[in-house]
Amino acid sequence: MSNIFKFAQIALHESSCNDLLDLTHEAQRLALKGELNFESIISVQSIEKVKFPEHPLLLPPREMPKRKLGTPTGLAAFFHAIAHVEFVAIYLAWDIVYRFRGLPEEFYRDWLRVADEEAQHFELLRVKLQTFGVDYGDLPAHSGLWDLAQDTAHDILVRLALVPRCMEAHGLDVTPPLIEKFKQLGDDNAVDILSRILTDEVGHVALGSKWFKFLCDQQNFDVENQYQSLLLKYYKGGMLKGGFNRELRLSAGFSETELDWLVAHSH
């Protein structure tokens, strides 16, 4: 029987872009058929060993060229940037599976499903990109997303607080205005893709909330206090970005208290 941690090891250390997509879908297919083993049979390598494909060229966020949605070039750059977010999200989902052992099987099934959905998002965006004559990897992308994974590799609670419940939750705030923008531009295909991504991302952030609460309860931490203290300790961006979508964040497992605190600590 195939083993989820072997899949994860190949995904993170030995995969081209297309291989990563194929093995992610195959692992989820096996999991749904009951043909995937969840026994921890291989050791965890350092996160520094994770390998990304040669392209795209990764630049610091401040060096990324500005993009405007009013031109084909700007639209191609925008969709390439979103595709990169979704591509790294596949790695993030596989890494939370691979790096943190000894959790319930349901935890690994949940994050494997996330990896599979992120791969589907990436594939939708890649097809969209190709309508502009551009493929993923043709343009530069920013390197900041994976930095968070490296900063949180030592502790599952820190990972859950900073990745699904901070970085990915930010997508719940910024995606609805983007959907409105593409409605105004008359791009129904973009609206459909972004709407699908938003729906799934609410579920992904909700899984982050679910497992953060599970592990806080297990360790006798107060959920809200622990979330606040971890963000204060590990969030490196200074003040958090405001403009929180309360409705979507509440549906993704945030409490009113957490949202009030986030507003007070944002700009």
pTM for the model stands at 0.96
Longest dimension (CA), the chain: 53
* Predicted confidence (pLDDT) at residue 47 exceeds the cutoff of 90: yes
The pLDDT of residue 180 is 97
Give per-residue pLDDT as tens, 20-34. Answer: 999 999 999 999 999
- The pLDDT-based confidence of 77 (bands split at 50, 70, 90) is very high
Q: Give residue 38's Cα distance to chain centre.
A: 22
Sequence ranges of the domains in the chain = 71-264
Between the two ends of the chain, the Cα-to-Cα distance in Å is 50
For residue 66, CA distances in Å to 8, 61, 73, 74, 91 come to: 35, 10, 11, 8, 26
Helices (H), 33-168: 72-99, 105-130, 144-151, 156-162
Give per-residue pLDDT as tens, 145-188. Answer: 898 899 999 999 999 999 999 999 999 999 999 999 999 999 99
Percent of the chain with pLDDT over 70: 99
* Predicted confidence (pLDDT) at residue 144 exceeds the cutoff of 90: no
Looking at domain 71-264, its CATH superfamily turns out to be Ferritin, core subunit, four-helix bundle (1.20.1260.10)
Q: For 2, left (φ over 0), alpha (ψ -120 to 50), or beta?
A: beta
- The pLDDT-based confidence of 60 (bands split at 50, 70, 90) is confident
Give per-residue pLDDT as tens, 2-11. Answer: 999 999 999 9
The pLDDT of residue 241 is 84
Name, in order, each residue with C-beta under 8 angstroms of 229's C-beta and a sequence gap of 6 or more.
none
* Predicted confidence (pLDDT) at residue 66 exceeds the cutoff of 80: no
The pLDDT of residue 17 is 95
